[in-house]
Structure 1
Amino acid sequence: MDPNLKWGIIGCGDVTEVKSGPAYSLVDGFELVAVMRRRLELAKDYAQRHHVKTYYDDADALINDKDVEAVYIATPPDSHHYYALKVAKAGKICCIEKPMAPSYTECKAIYTAFAKRDIPLFVAYYRRSLPRFDKVKSLLDHNAIGAVRYINWNLSRTPSPIDLSDDYNWRTDAKIAPAGYFDDLASHGLDLFVYLLGGIKEASGVCLNQQELYTAKDAISGSWLHDSGVIGSAIWNFGAYKREDSVRIVGSEGEVCFSIFSDHPIQLITDKNSETFIIDNPNPIQLYHVENMQKHINGISQHPSTGKSGLHTAWVMDKILGKL
C-alpha cells in the first residue's frame, strides 16, 4: 500500500508554480496526483511540466477523485468558501490559500464544516513556518527586548503597472477582494503578529479609496490590542511614492526590526548593543509549511497555521475594515 498522502490542487495559477505547488511533491509522505484549472489545456500544461498524472477542468471531478485524499485550494479568495465546503463534504483534508475567505462569516462556515467532521484544515499563512520569523519569536520569547510594549507596521508602495492600466486584476476587484491588496498582503502580517504576540481582542480601523484606480480600497489604517496588552498599529497604502515594508516591535529594553515581504536582515537593537540576523528562506518558500502539515497529520507536531488561527485572522481583518 502506498503510504503517501495524495493531494490535488484546485487552481494552478502563479502562486502554485514556484511558491507552493512543488512542495507537495518534495515533502516525504506527500504526493501531488491531480490538478485542476478552468481551461483544460492549461491544466494539462501544468500537469505535464510538474509531472502530475491527472488533470481536470472540473473541480468536482478532482474533489471526488478516489485517488485524491487531500485538496489544496489555490483559487482567488471569492471561491474558497464554495470549494472548501465541497471538500469538507467529501471528507478530505484541506489546505486553503490565504486569505481563508473574503469575510469572517465565510471563514467561520468553512471552519465549522471541517471541525464538525474532525478533518484537518490548514491555511497557507506560511510565514508561521519560516525560520526567519521563528527567530523573531525566539527573541521575543527569551525577553531579548524586555517586556513588549507595541508593534508598528508600515506597508506602502507605488501603484503597479496593472493598477494604471485597463487590464483586469482580481486583487483589486471589490467583488473578490473588497480591500484590495490589504486582503492579499496585510493578512500575512496580521496573522504573523498573532503568531508572535498572541491573540487579538480588540481591533478597529479606517479604510478608503484614495486613488480611485479600481473598485477596492487602497488606503487603510488599523490599530489593535493583543490579549497580552501589547498595542498594535499599521498603515497600508498602495498609492505612495515609494515602497516601504518595515515592522518594529518595541519593548522595555530594546526593539526588533524586520520586513514581512523582503528578506532584509532582522535587527535586534538594545541600549547595550545591536545584532543582525540573516536567515534564508527555503525553496520553494512554502516547503516548511507543507512539511509541517505532514507532521501534523501524522501526529508528530501541531501545525502553526490551522483553520482556527486563520479564522481569528479573518476576524481581525474584518474588525479593521469595519465589517464587524
Structure 2
Amino acid sequence: MKTYNWGIIGCGNVTELKSGPAYQKTEGFELTAVMRRDISKAEDYAKRHHISKFYGNADELINDSEIDAIYIATPPDSHEYYALKVAEAGKICCIEKPMAPTYQACASINKAFQNKKLPLFVAYYRRSLPRFTKVKSWIDANKIGNIRHINWHLSKPANNIDLSKTYNWRTDAKIAPAGYFDDLASHGLDLFTFLLGDISQANGIAINQQGLYSAMDAVTGNWLHNSGITGSGSWNFGTENREDQVKIYGSKGKIEFSVFADQPIVLESNGNTESMIIENPENIQLYHVENIKKQLLNQATHPSTGETAAHTAWVMDQILQP
C-alpha cells in the first residue's frame, strides 16, 4: 500500500489533539512536515510530535518533493491563498473548516482542484463521526417517518478573551464576518445537509448586540431543503448559559442531539424512546482522516469534499446577507 506523506500549514492549537495525531495514527499516512510562520514554534511542534521536517515558509513545504498531501489549518481568510498554491503544485489537499469566508472563494478553490483533477477534502469531520452516522441511519430507516422540520439553538456566554477585548481572529470581521457563527454554526449547517440533503433557499438576520468585537454575535436563520424539509436556527454568543440543542421533527417521531456537547442522541418513535451515548475518538478527526485514506484507495467516497463544503458556505452567505 502506498504511503502518503502529509504536511500541515499552520500547526496551531486545532492540530495538537483534534487533527494532527489522526494523520499519524492512520495506516498508510505519515505526518512528515509542518509549517508555522514562527519557525521556533514549528520546530517545537515537530519535536513534540516526532515529525521529521519543519518550515517557517509555506512555499517550501508545498514544494517539498517528498510531500504528497497538505492539510491547511490556518485561519479561514488565508485558505484560498494557500489552497491555490497547493493545487498549482499538484498535491492532495484537506482544508480546515470553514472552507473559506465566502462561497465565491470556495468556488475558486474548487475550480483549481477540478482543473488539476486533484482530490480536495474539508474538515467537516462530524459527517464521519459514529454518533452522527447513527442519526443518519435512523433517518434513512424512516424511524421518524416523513421529516417535517429541523431546529437548532446554540448559545453561550461571551468568552473572557472577548470581555477583555483582547484580539481574537475568530471575532475579527475581516477574517470571520459573523464571528463564532462562522466558526461553530458552519459545523451544524454542514451536518444538516449531510443528514437531510442540500438546501435550496436560506435567509436570516445577523447583528452585533454586545459591541465586544467587530464581527456579528447574534444570528437567526431559516432554510428549505430540496426535499421540502424546513429548517430554522438561532445562534447567540452573549447569553448567561450554554445551550446546544437540535430537534428533527417527523410525522412519526423526533430525534434530538447536540452538535458539540457529549450528550446522548435520542430517538422518539411511535411512543418509544431510545437514548444512546456514542463516544467520540480521542482525536476527533480520526474517522474523517481514515475516510480520506479510503477514498484515495478507491474504497469509499469521502462525505466532506470541496463541493459539499462550498454548499455550506453558500447557505451561510444567504443567512448573513443584509
Alignment map for 1:306-317 (pairs within 5 Å): 306-317=305-316
Name the residue aligned to 1:289. Answer: 288
Name the residue aligned to 1:279. Answer: 278
Name the residue aligned to 1:65. Answer: 64
Q: Which runs of 5+ in 1 are unaligned?
A: none
Name the residue aligned to 2:175. Answer: 176
CA deviations on 1:244-290 (whole Å, 9 max, x unpaired) are 00000000011000000011000111342111011111121100000
- The alpha carbon displacement at 1:168 in A equals 1.1
Name the residue aligned to 1:201. Answer: 200
Distance 1:290 1:241 in 2: 36
Larger deviation, residues 290-299 vs 264-273: 264-273
Name the residue aligned to 1:132. Answer: 131
TM-score (norm 1): 0.98
Name the residue aligned to 2:252. Answer: 253
Moved over 2 A (4+): none
Name the residue aligned to 2:73. Answer: 74
Aligned AA for 1:252? Answer: S
Name the residue aligned to 1:165. Answer: 164
Aligned AA for 1:38? Answer: R
Aligned AA for 1:277? Answer: M
Name the residue aligned to 1:263. Answer: 262
Name the residue aligned to 1:101. Answer: 100
**Percent identity at matched positions?**
63
Aligned AA for 1:296? Answer: Q
TM-score (norm 2): 0.99
CA deviations on 1:148-187 (whole Å, 9 max, x unpaired) are 0000000001101011013110000001000000000000
User: Any idea what SS the aligned residue of 1:162 has?
Assistant: helix
Query: 2:165–2:212: 8 Å Cα contact kept in structure 1?
Result: no
Name the residue aligned to 1:223. Answer: 222
Aligned: 1:300 with 2:288: no
CA deviations on 1:126-157 (whole Å, 9 max, x unpaired) are 00000000010000111111100000000001
Name the residue aligned to 1:34. Answer: 33
Aligned AA for 2:111? Answer: T
Q: Which runs of 5+ in 2 are unaligned?
A: none
Alignment map for 1:133-148 (pairs within 5 Å): 133-148=132-147
Query: 2:150–2:230: 8 Å Cα contact kept in structure 1?
Result: yes
Distance 2:87 2:269 in 1: 49
Aligned AA for 1:13? Answer: G
Name the residue aligned to 1:56. Answer: 55
- The alpha carbon displacement at 1:108 in A equals 0.5
Name the residue aligned to 1:321. Answer: 320
Aligned AA for 2:68? Answer: E
User: Any idea what SS the aligned residue of 2:31 has?
Assistant: strand
CA deviations on 1:171-205 (whole Å, 9 max, x unpaired) are 00001000000000000000000000000000000
Distance 1:59 1:165 in 2: 33
Q: Kindly tell me the number of residue pairs found equivalent between the two proteins.
A: 322
